[in-house]
Amino acid sequence: MKHFNSRTPKLLFLLLSLSLPLANLETRATLVQQTSRVNAKPALVLVVSHADQDEQQSNVDAVVLVENGKFKQPYPEENEAAQKQFAANYFAPGKKYRVTFGGGEVGTATIKSSGMGCNNIHAAATVEDNKRIPPRLSALATDSRTLGKKPAARRAPTDAEREGVMRIVRQIYTARGTTAKALNTLKTTNLTATDLNGDGQFELIGSFVIEIKRGNTVSARRDLFFIAEHQLPVRPTPIPTAGSAGPSSAGRSSAGTPSVGRSSTGPSSAGSSPAGPSVSAEASFSAGPPFKATLVDFQSYNLPPEGFDSAVDFIDQLDLDGDGTAEVFVQQHGFDAYGYSIYKKTPRGWRKVYTTTGDAC
């Protein structure tokens, strides 16, 4: 009787028996990864502000919960019970948060106490940052282990950067009918250089104001919040020689010019609102390389009798959704109030994608 060699079937059986556990492990690992993504704890992001140098503690406001790249309210607004529950979980004395500035970690914040404002809850915290946050500037804080892991990238602008940006700022004001006399009263509220996308080139983010007075009282304002980004030098189109093929006239190529930005009366109060339309990205406003304006938020309005303005001020930046470009946090003033908003860079330009109440008193 002829016997067949049984080594090959045994080897096949051995390989199959080994591959099945490996496949099972791989499937289980994939399921664990998917489950961890779905069940990942939302990351809380807060604003840390220190308005008074003599004060030992900083003020802390909860701004946004980030879950799977989505931005959510930390708690239902105007719900005192929900705010107290939030405080018990997130503002418990001794709780620590990582502090970021310019997109990178610079220290820690330790919660000391919390309390109700006029319509929102706040915390007081001690910040340890080795003096990396300049006085009177705000920063961000988070309980996430992954946000803000890039090197911090924020500084004062150089003289050359400031000069280039101010040329664009004057263009924007002039295009909106601001007279030369009024331009002489232009004030810079804040101008910061920060690297939003980690390419080593710093964008410029600034707030500016012209106050119009009647007598000794400010009666109207022209506010500007904008972002200026680096642009590549524009190469001139070669002038064709006689008999050569090419365009009939010389000129410069352009990347296109979005529509002119808005002019509004500004919000009467700060608070929750749906994500707004794209704020104007004005590539037409440019002093030539290296900068062009890519976000322009301009407001021209009369002040109410109480004198409250609706200016927008830069807070800081942080890449919340991991797409490589940081979101920009701002504070907007309102009628006896303030709120927070987040701008995101999209293929259609910068968009306001999130707004929440700070407080009103």
How far is it, in rounded angstroms, from Cα 177 to Cα 226? 18
- State percent of the chain over pLDDT 70: 72
Please choose, from the candidates 205, 173, 172, the residue with its C-alpha nearest in 3D space to the C-alpha of residue 285: 172
**pLDDT value of position 180:** 95
Q: How far is CA 257 from CA 120, 165, 227, 339, 347, in A?
A: 41, 18, 16, 31, 14
How far is it, in rounded angstroms, from Cα 338 to Cα 361? 9
| Mean pLDDT score across all residues of the chain | 80
**pLDDT value of position 117:** 82
Measure CA 273 to chain center.
17
Please choose, from the candidates 272, 340, 283, 255, the residue with its C-alpha nearest in 3D space to the C-alpha of residue 46: 340
Residue 335 is classified by DSSP as T
**pLDDT value of position 238:** 55
Q: How confident is the model at residue 105 (pLDDT cuts 50, 70, 90)?
A: very high
Is the pLDDT score of 344 beyond 60? yes
Out of 3-17, 37-51, 108-122, the most confident range is: 108-122
Q: How confident is the model at residue 284 (pLDDT cuts 50, 70, 90)?
A: low
Please choose, from the candidates 238, 212, 235, the residue with its C-alpha nearest in 3D space to the C-alpha of residue 223: 212
Between the CA atoms of 178, 179, 182 and 188, what dihedral angle is there, to the nearest 10 degrees? 50
- Which is more confidently placed, 204 or 5? 204
**pLDDT value of position 190:** 94
27-65 pLDDT, tens digit per residue, is: 444 433 443 344 468 999 999 997 666 677 999 999 999
Q: Which two tokens stand for residue 186?
A: 């232009």
210-251 pLDDT, tens digit per residue, is: 999 988 899 999 999 999 998 876 555 555 444 444 333 333
- Global pTM? 0.77
Burial of 65 (0-12, 13-18, 19+ CB in 10 A): middle
The 3-state DSSP class for residue 169 equals helix
Residue 308 is classified by DSSP as -
Enumerate residues 6+ apart whose C-beta is below 8 A from 312: 207, 223, 225, 297, 299, 330, 331, 332, 333, 341
